[in-house]
Each structure stands twice: as C-alpha cells, then as structure tokens.
Amino acid sequence: MRFSKLSSLVCPRCFRGLIVNDGTLVDSLGHRFPIRSRVPRFVDSAGYTENFSLQWNRFSRTQLDSQDNTLSSQRFWAETGWSRVALNGVDVLEVGSGAGRFSRVLLAESKARLFSIDYSESVTANLSNNSYYVDNGRLVLAQASIYDLPFTDNSFDYAFCLGVLQHTPDFKDSLRCLIDKLSPGGQLVVDFYPINGWWTKISAKYLLRPLLKRLSPKMLLQFVRLIVPVSIIIYKVLTLIGLNKATRFLPICDIDATLPSNLSKEQLIEWCVLDTFDMFSPRYDHPQRIETVAKWVNELGADVTFAGFVDFADSNRAAVVRAVKRRPNA
C-alpha cells in the first residue's frame, strides 16, 4: 500500500491527521492504530461481525465476476445509476466491502479512487482480491466501524453501502454516518432487505434465526453445508410442481431470486452455502420499508432522488435508495 494515500485517513476519535511510524498510524495526541497485513486497523476485533470475518475469508472469490458471470457488475451499476465517466478521478467511499466484489467492479470499470472499510476481518480477503489497486494507489483499505469512520466529514463525492445496513446495530444512525462523510452535493446509494408486508418475516430465515445465530460461526457453517444439498433438491421439486411460495419455508436462500442462473452444480452448492450462511449468521437483521429509509435520509440532510426496487440480472431485485447531500442553506 502506498503510505502517501494513508494521509487521507484521520483518527476517528479526534479527527487529527495520521502519520506512519514503525508500521503504526499515529496522530499528534499519541492515538495509535496498527497496520496489520498491510491494512490499517481502527478496531480491536471484528466485534458483532465475527460471522462475516469467517464468511468472506472462506468464500473470498465466490462472488467475484468472471467471464461467465457478471452479476456483481450488473448489480452495482443498476443500483447506483452512476456514470463510469463521471467517476473518473473522484473519491468514492465504500462501507462494508466484504471480500471486495463491488470494490473490484468500481476499480476495474472506472477510474475512481476508492476508500473502502469493513468492520470485519474480510478486509484481508479484499486485499487479496484487489491488491493490484492497493499497489497502484487507487484503493485504500481499512478495518473500521461505520460509527467511527477514519475520515473527516464532507470528504467524498460518492458513497455506497450495499448489503450492509440491515446488519448494523442502528440502521438510521448508520445512514447518518454515511451522509456525514459526503461533501455537499455528494451522492449516496444504499440497498437493504425490504419489508414487503406482514409476511416478510414468516419464512425459514426469520423463524430459525433466533436459534441458529446462537451457534458459533464455524458450527453454523458446518450445519449449512449438511443441509444445503438436500434443500436444493427439495427447492427444485417444489418449483417444478408450481409450489414456489412454499420454498420460503426451506432453510436455504432463495435460489431463483438471488443467484446467477448459469452456475454449475458445484458452483450452485457453493453459492447456496454462502448465501444460506449469510441468511442465518448475522447478529443483526433489520429489514426496512423503503419509504421509512427514504424519510430517514431526508431527515439526515440529503434529498432522495430514487427510492424503490431495482431489477438486474434476470430475476434479481434490490430495494435501493439514492440521495444527494443537501448543500448548506439549500
């Protein structure tokens, strides 16, 4: 990592600048933050994201795009609505990078500079997948909390947070932290699990989560590996005979709605294990109504430009809110 790019990072406690001293970031008050495995660490542990540390380091390359699968790229550009040309040379904030599937899309398909953080140890997987961009100075990675971001306010032209907010302790406060870091006129894009109606939580996911999330991440992953192959067969049978709605009661992810359609048998099992583990393991899971998120964004100082569902890649769909940070006195 080019240490010159680390000058953009500040102490999340006092917002003073940081310098590199013997492999540690230090500010003028003596606050110190280690650089471990080439990544600055602003948190002592993965905290409530221990499951994601295991998940993204175990499945670090599963969701990366390939010649045969461009789901991540299709999802990113469809949800953000951003222009690749408009991103040239601008600073973009990504919160909740996971293994870096969207980091790679942005960096490979535009000329933006990306500052990407995650609370979990998944930053190690992101580094492995996107080391080229770290080496050339276009990607700065850090392990940090969304509530204590190591950047000054009003710093970024664009910010995105995909697949993350429902897994934070306080959804609205997480939105506030993102909007604070945007410069006036800066653009924000978030997606999240939607509440579609009273039936949203009448499914295997929410009925089993109170029990399964108590298991250690390693035990839960072993359990998921056992049930996924059989669940896939049952899922396909129910779909074949027209009982699609019954699949919501299977302890498996929604295959038709969330996975690429051209996966091999081995790839299908791997994606299902990943997405099913992701379904049951997070400590927090707070789906929201789209209109509620839009209202919160407006209250927090940004004007909503889009709030609704975005379709991409065949039958995939996401609840998305886009907004522009309000200018002073606007």
Q: Which residues pair with 160 in a beta bridge?
A: 94, 189
pLDDT score at 186: 97
pLDDT score at 259: 86
C-alpha to C-alpha distance for 175 and 297, rounded to whole angstroms: 7
Question: Helix %, strand %, coil % for the chain, to 5?
Answer: 40, 20, 35
- Cβ–Cβ < 8 Å for 165, 82: no
C-alpha to C-alpha distance for 26 and 33, rounded to whole angstroms: 7
DSSP 263: -
CA dihedral 313, 119, 213, 317 (to 10 degrees): -20
CA distances (Å), 91 to each of 246, 292, 293, 305, in order?
45, 28, 25, 21
Q: Which residues pair with 307 in a beta bridge?
A: 321
Tell me: domain 41-194+287-325, CATH 3.30.1340.30, correct? no
Q: Which of 317, 285, 272, 289 is nearest to 208 (CA)?
A: 285
Tokens 């770290």, located at residue: 134
- Cβ–Cβ < 8 Å for 209, 183: no
- Cβ–Cβ < 8 Å for 85, 249: no
Q: Tens place of pLDDT for every residue, the chain, 330 residues?
A: 344 456 689 999 999 999 998 889 999 999 999 999 999 999 988 789 999 999 999 999 999 999 888 999 999 999 999 999 999 999 999 999 999 999 999 999 999 999 999 999 999 999 999 999 999 999 999 999 999 999 999 999 999 999 999 999 999 999 999 999 999 999 999 999 999 888 889 999 999 999 998 999 999 999 999 999 999 999 999 999 999 999 999 999 999 888 888 889 999 999 999 999 999 999 999 999 999 999 999 999 999 999 999 999 877 899 999 999 999 876
Between CA 42 and CA 219, with CA 59 as vertex, the angle to 5 degrees is: 90
| Sheet with 19-21: strands ordered across | 19-21, 24-26, 32-36, 39-40
Q: Where are the domains of the chain?
A: 41-194+287-325, 198-280
CA distances (Å), 161 to each of 97, 102, 240, 296, in order?
8, 10, 36, 15
CA dihedral 148, 153, 158, 160 (to 10 degrees): 20
